[in-house]
Chains A and B, each alone.
Chain A
Amino acid sequence: MTLITSPNLEAPDEFYEALIECHRGLSDEASHALNARLVLLLANQVGSLQILKQALRAARAGATEPLSPEHAPAGPR
């Protein structure tokens, strides 16, 4: 099984709108908490550890902040 990265959403624009709408009126803190709950709910929907790890890697690859040395992955980058 492989993480789906090609378009797979039934209605991309509607989903995106609903995602932003879901956060409306929340403080940053409450929004972060909502996101954490959302991650856990979606992770349970996916189920497969292999796919979840691929998703974690893909998400991590998008981290733009420079890594502090002790958190940098080993090996050439």
Chain B
Amino acid sequence: MPAYASHPLSEQSTGQEIQSFEFPWQRSPDQDAYALSGAVAHHPIVIVGAGPAGLSLAIDLAQRGQRVLLLDNDARLSTGSRAICFAKRTLEIWDRLGVGQAMCDKGVQWQMGKVFLGSEQLYGFNLLPEPGHERPAFINLQQYYAEAYLAIRAAQLPTLEIRWRNTVTALEQPLIAAGLPGPGLHAPAGERGPRPVRLMIETPEGPYTITADYVAACDGSRSSLRTLLGQQSTGQVFRDRFLIADVRMQAPFPTERWFWFDPPFHPNQSVLLHRQPDDVWRIDFQLGWDVNPDEEKRPERVRPRVDAMMRQAIGHEVPFELEWASVYTFSCQRMASFRHGHVLFAGDSAHGVSPFGARGANSSVQDSDNLAWKLDLVLRGIAPEALLASYAAEREYAADENILNSTRSTDFITPKSPISKLFRDATLNLAREHDFARRLVNSGRLSVPATLTASRLNTPDCDHFEGTLMPGAPAPDAPMPNESKWLLRCLAGNDFHALIFDGPQTNAIMRIIESAFRDGPGPQIGTYQAPLPPVNLPVNIVIVPCEGLAAKRYDASPGTTYLLRPDQHVCARWRAPTAALVRAALGRALALDTSP
């Protein structure tokens, strides 16, 4: 472990300090041993890429007691303007990882937005009209702050090691290459023989080699692991360019998202204005395809655009500092499969979206949330490899949903044909007067978590439930009735959770849940044949008074019981559970049940 007495970064570090900070090079004992004798160290989990996905995944696994090695080819956190909007679900996941509060304390909360056409405001909107959630719909926070708080948390975990300036240059899966399956569910601990993954690593002091049981590729949109495996991320590339300008200024804007279609200061294009911490404003100018990106990001080209925007927005120019300017293009694409042998892809390496909707970093953190508990249970020999297949299936589905939403937004913002523009303009025109048309205006459908309704880990309802909550959805937050705490805060541990809505049967249901988890799903479930170890899974039982918003959001009656996965997604629910029902649902949620 790096020998920091305390972490060099803190929650008080400035953006400048974080962006300029370089983690000191530290040679690992693995490299010494390799150089000395050719010894190859083994790690159960190697994560490549210390961005939002890789850091979140590493923390989650380390909190579960796993020994985690995180490699990064650089020695710095994010710099410049990248992700800026972090959604409610991401904050809830980060609460479980111990960093949600730091993010919210620094972040700018917002929920109001305005949409303009030309110089006229078409309408305003409120993202979270529903009270009774601990976390807001969104916070705006520069990605470097988010990464810094994650890195600080990571340094507190004794089984998590980060090696900076360690670049993976080759990756082999010898078992798969030899046509053999993985080491199997119950390979005895310490068994020698070929390891599933072999990684060649380059450092400032030369190369070394390690092996791993599993590798998580969180190495970004230009993923080198994806290339090393001969894989691609494919999809639609949009022929449009956008200029990002991050400007620091004292400006009397409210904390709102402002989106202009065809403003007089930037005709025929769109402009998006967002507030970030430290009086920094992020402005996205749509430029069209036929511009020179190197020209457009020069300060003397950017500054007049900002001045013109200010004259329109508040009637005069204000002095500002240009913190960052870049020109970007984007595509909506994903890998065909997020799982290749013992290598699992998460975050931008697996999928990419347009920025409208804040679905990039948010979906990356949801990937890691989905993957961590599954990797943990597979490594412990409690669940089969099929649980990792469910990671790929669930997050490929979520990626498709994000790509669909972000493609629709992009088609509205950047119409691709004259008739598409005609309808876009007709929609905007009607939105002035008519509420229905405002629902059609699409300047980004902001990130909400995927509801994994089609997942094989779900147990279909056998009882009737009203409302929008269904198996596969993340558990909604609510105030705990009669207590000054939040429901999701009671689901902070690493285990499966059982929510029992209080009633006369509460004690009996508790015994049912406890016995089902003590006895485990058993080898008789479905057609799964492999011998299972004795299962004695811990379970977090939460008794919820059957009243208030909590009962309403879960459509609960006394005795209603929800079984939640460790990532807080609903996997089963009953009005009156029995041990057999709970054991069967647990079997499904662990991917032990292979029946359709």
Contact = CB atoms under 8 A, between A and B. Distances in A.
A32 interface: yes
B437 A40 contact: yes
A36 B426 contact: yes
B430 A32 contact: no
Contacts of A39: 423, 426
A41 interface: yes
A3 interface: no
Candidate in A32, A33, A36, A39 with the most chain B CB atoms within 10 angstroms: A36
B427 to A, nearest CB: 6
Contacts, number: 25
How many interface residues does chain B have, given as a range?
A: 10 to 19
A50 interface: no
Chain B contact surface mostly = helix
Contacts of A36: 422-423, 425-426
A37 B436 contact: no
B440 interface: yes
Nearest to B422: A36
B356 to A, nearest CB: 21
Interface residues of A, number: 8
Contacts of B430: 37, 40-41
A40 B429 CA distance: 11
A32 B437 contact: no
A70 to B, nearest CB: 13
Interface string A25-49: 0000000110011011100100000
Chain A contact surface mostly = helix
A37 B423 CA distance: 7
Contacts of B429: 33, 37
Interface string B425-439: 111011000101100
Contacts of B426: 33, 36-37, 39-40
B422 A40 contact: no
A41 B440 CA distance: 11
A69 to B, nearest CB: 17
B27 to A, nearest CB: 57
A3 B67 CA distance: 61
A33 B436 contact: no
A44 B440 CA distance: 10
Contacts of A32: 422
A40 B440 contact: yes
Interface in B402-457: 422-423, 425-427, 429-430, 434, 436-437, 440
B231 to A, nearest CB: 28
A55 B423 CA distance: 17
B422 A33 contact: yes
B48 to A, nearest CB: 40
Contacts of B422: 32-33, 36
Nearest to B425: A33
Given A40-B427, A41-B430, A44-B436, 6 more contacts: A33-B425, A36-B422, A39-B426, A41-B434, A44-B434, A44-B437
Q: Which 6 A-B pairs have the closest CB atoms?
A: A36-B426, A44-B436, A37-B426, A36-B422, A36-B423, A37-B430
